Amino acid sequence: MSGNKYVFELPMRVRDYEVDSQGIVNNAVYLHYLEHTRHEFCRKAGTSFRAMQQQGIDPVLRSVNITYLHPLGLGQEMVSKLALRREGARFIFVQDIFTLPDMQPVVKAEVTVVCLENGRLTRGDVLAEAFSEYL
């Protein structure tokens, strides 16, 4: 988590339907938080998944590695942070979630995305151009 050069941050709050019977966020919900952060990052970068899809560009998940460090509860505030690097045709999103205001680590994740253009796997140069300011 430390040492990452975050290029995007998104504050969020745990909603009532995201907690389980124990009153903590269900493990699968963190994947939604991470995805929402990537979508908002794309918007900041000047594109959207809808716009990319209309151009025949489809960023797709290759892998997700997530480590759960501390549970979140109902109404708790958090910040989702994102760092990005490119390794060949792969875009690696390093995503960390922290509690607010104390910045306790909640989740550490590495999400690998590849790019399809018109249904064919590519090096993702169009996507790299969209993210050039952040790579």
Query: Which residue in the list 16, 20, 58, 96 is annotated as catalytic?
Result: 20
For the chain, how many residues are written? 135
Q: Considering Cα of 99, then 103, then 105, then 107, what sign does the dihedral take?
A: positive
Does an H or E element contain 110, and which? strand 105-117
Looking at this protein, which amino acid is placed at residue 60?
V
Cβ partners under 8 Å of residue 77, min gap 6: 11, 12, 13, 14, 99, 100, 101
Active site annotation includes 125: no
| Active-site residue set | 20
